[in-house]
Structure 1
Amino acid sequence: MITNYIGIDIAARSFVSARPTPAASYQVQQWDYQTPQQIAHFVDSLNPQTDHCVLEATGNYHLRLTYALLEAGISVSVVNPLSVKRYGQMLASITKTDQRDAVLLARYGQQQQPATYRQPDQHLQYLRQRRMVLNQLQQQRQALANQQHALSVHPQPDAFSQQILDQQQLYVEQAIADLQAQISQLVADHYQQSRQLLASIPGFGAVSTAVFLEALSSFEGWQQRGSSKAFVKYIGLAPTLHQSGRSVRGGSHINRSGVPWLRQKLWLPACTLAMRLKTDTVFQRLYIRLRQAGKSFKEAIIAVMHKWIRVALAVLQSGKPFDSRLNLPTEENLVSNL
């Protein structure tokens, strides 16, 4: 039975742990974790039967310690830093140090009892790393294009500088193509059924399928019916309201939390889905109806993306390919069956 929630504040080269004591205080200790022996020293101090570690998601810094704890049979929770920050504000905490953060994580775990972290499979970890590198290369490609344009308008351009930029651009273009091919191959080899189901939905290509499956794997309970609203909120597409009494009437907008890189990757496919596909789809009809009702371009595209995501989740949950007739209004569905 878990009785001790141990808060861990991770840094680049060390971490601070806060362990509750019988005197209703916390034993705070700093540990190095640069080598497997140093990590094992901390792991050996824990009891798998009673101890549960709570730490924040901090890029890749927390992964080595998290995996070592899981291999030793220690329960671990990797929590959203924003949730812990809001919890600290609720407690009126005004001091921020590594030691205080570790104690705050321990108190958060004891009170909130967050879900246990599940280690993703190896193929998903590769997919995530390739997506991150692809994002960086695409940003570099745009930066190189900007530099090339800046040199092209210079009255006395340097030929050698232009040659270096051209070489770098060719290398980055080839690396992007290779990464995209590897991502597509990985999804085809290890997520064949999900890929085929998503391919039945208009707008889903190789990249959009890969990023959607990556985000979905991080959301617990997506297989359950009725989880679509929670998933849309998780990725940051749920509408929010800010109203109070008669004086506060804030506008509605998406919550912008969760998975911003997924929204970024799905924006262009959603635009294509709404406006540029030659075939008529329920998503195009939704876009046209909202635009005719006076909604802005951005509002209509977000609504299309919202519906598109929920349809994709429903298709994966049912295990059946997309059927556009199920999304038509009743009268149109009757006509299509005549």
Structure 2
Amino acid sequence: MSNLLKKVIGVDVGAKFLTVSFNDDSNQNQVQNIENNQRSILAFLKKISREDYCFVIEATGNYSSRLLHLSLSKGFESSLINCMSVKHFSRMKNIIIKTDAEDAKLIKLYGEMFRPEIYVPKSIQIEHLDQEIKLLNDLEEEKRRYAVKLKALRYNPHLNPNTEKHYEKRLKQLEKEVQEVELRLPQLQDEEFKEIKNLIQSVSGIGEKTSLQLITATSGFKNFDSAKSLVKYFGLAPRIYQSGKKSYSPGKCRTSKTHIRGMLYVCSWTAMKHNIPCKELYLRLLAKGKPKKVALIAVCNKLLRICFGVVKNKIAYQQDYQKNLKILT
């Protein structure tokens, strides 16, 4: 049966319970609470037919992943929707009630009206690598936090040696754990993954950590058909507001992936010095009177577009590619 003809099951996700809303065989709306564990989810999936129903699930990270992957493994068509999309949809419908049951009904209605794309799961290798990278980010963040605290503590004229020793011991332990995770990362990379990583790292300004983050966040850029959608996904697309004679840009669309956006911003510092197209873009924007931060965000946008191009065309980055192309033509 076509996805357009299937009944939608809207799912509001919580840590302990899943609230589902769907129409039964007599077309009466049903709302149920299901425990967010494998046994309860599988029991619910047995009661419904994958030929008649599809899932629209609120994206809440790990809490929604169990239902998402179990439903996909049983042959159901499942979609993930951003919680902000549901929030704006509720405003459009002038809904002022906020309960789990009402949210599940709202998600069902959203799915019936817009029929979001079916979710394409990441490979197990990408999932494992993504978890390792998140662990590495957490360890490095904790290490920075302890280092700052120790630095501030040493300004105290009455420093307790035992306290200082504890901080130093904790920092050494965190450094050891960071090195262990970094040693595990290459073991999770197959030949295809290494090829994509090398293509991204051929772009001047992009390092190994940023390339790994980009690959795991996008499944090797397989989830995107255009550079424009990729830039928007990472929150680096400029916004335009125009009404009558009034027109201005409220800034970039900060949609998601704050950590990767921050890493790209750091990469832009190197790119605007050593990457010729990025440097030209940066200087051109400064000449127009744009602030330096705005110019650097534009460089981030440019870097993402270049990464998308080299991966999709499977050609390593060449700074003088356009110049050589003009000579050949």
Same fold (TM over 0.5): yes
> Does the 8 A contact of 1:183 with 1:210 survive in 2?
no
Distance in 2 between residues matched to 1:6 and 1:245, nearest whole Å: 42
Q: CA deviation at 1:87?
A: 1.0
Larger mean Cα displacement after TM superposition, 287-296 or 40-49: 287-296
SS of structure 1 residue aligned to 2:63:
coil
Distance in 1 between residues matched to 2:59 and 2:220, nearest whole Å: 12
Structure 2 match to 1:269: 267
* TM-score (norm. length: structure 1): 0.89
Structure 2 match to 1:259: 257
Larger mean Cα displacement after TM superposition, 153-162 or 136-145: 136-145
Structure 2 match to 1:4: 7
Is 1:317 the equivalent of 2:312? yes
Cα gap change, 1:80/1:179 in structure 2, threshold over 3 Å: closer, same or farther?
same
Number of residue pairs matched by the alignment: 325
Structure 1 match to 2:168: 166
Distance in 2 between residues matched to 1:236 and 1:184, nearest whole Å: 29
> Does the 8 A contact of 2:15 with 2:63 survive in 1?
yes
Amino acid at match of 2:241: H
Q: CA deviation at 1:215?
A: 2.4
Is 1:180 the equivalent of 2:198? no
Q: CA deviation at 1:128?
A: 1.3
Distance in 1 between residues matched to 2:201 and 2:19, nearest whole Å: 46
> Does the 8 A contact of 1:194 with 1:316 survive in 2?
yes
Q: CA deviation at 1:293?
A: 3.1
Amino acid at match of 1:10: V
Amino acid at match of 1:287: Y
Q: Which runs of 5+ in 1 are unaligned?
A: none
SS of structure 2 residue aligned to 1:15:
strand
Q: CA deviation at 1:198?
A: 1.6
SS of structure 2 residue aligned to 1:30:
strand
Q: CA deviation at 1:148?
A: 0.4
> Does the 8 A contact of 1:243 with 1:249 survive in 2?
yes
Structure 2 match to 1:88: 90
Structure 1 match to 2:300: 305
> Does the 8 A contact of 1:10 with 1:58 survive in 2?
yes
Runs of 4+ in 1 over 6 A off after TM superposition: none
Cα gap change, 1:16/1:103 in structure 2, threshold over 3 Å: closer, same or farther?
same
Map 1:5-24 to 2 at 5 A.
5-21=8-24
Structure 2 match to 1:284: 279
Kindly, what percent of the aligned residue pairs are identical?
A: 27
Q: CA RMSD in A?
A: 2.2
* TM-score (norm. length: structure 2): 0.91
Distance in 1 between residues matched to 2:120 and 2:229, nearest whole Å: 19
Cα gap change, 1:221/1:148 in structure 2, threshold over 3 Å: closer, same or farther?
closer
> Does the 8 A contact of 1:7 with 1:103 survive in 2?
yes
Q: Residue deviations 1:25-66, cap 9 Å, x none? A: 5211111133x3222211111101010011111120111111
Is 1:52 the equivalent of 2:50? no
Cα gap change, 1:116/1:148 in structure 2, threshold over 3 Å: closer, same or farther?
same
Amino acid at match of 1:309: L
Cα gap change, 1:188/1:69 in structure 2, threshold over 3 Å: closer, same or farther?
closer
Larger mean Cα displacement after TM superposition, 65-74 or 156-165: 65-74
Amino acid at match of 1:254: K
2:136 to 131, 134, 137: 134
Structure 2 match to 1:28: 31
Q: CA deviation at 1:323?
A: 1.8
Q: CA deviation at 1:217?
A: 2.1
SS of structure 2 residue aligned to 1:324:
coil
Q: CA deviation at 1:185?
A: 4.6
Structure 1 match to 2:76: 74
> Does the 8 A contact of 2:15 with 2:36 survive in 1?
no
Q: CA deviation at 1:109?
A: 0.8
> Does the 8 A contact of 1:188 with 1:195 survive in 2?
no
Cα gap change, 1:315/1:219 in structure 2, threshold over 3 Å: closer, same or farther?
closer
Q: Residue deviations 1:83-138, cap 9 Å, x none? A: 11111111111001010011111111111111111221011101211221122112
Q: CA deviation at 1:176?
A: 2.1
Q: Which runs of 5+ in 2 are unaligned?
A: none
> Does the 8 A contact of 1:282 with 1:327 survive in 2?
no
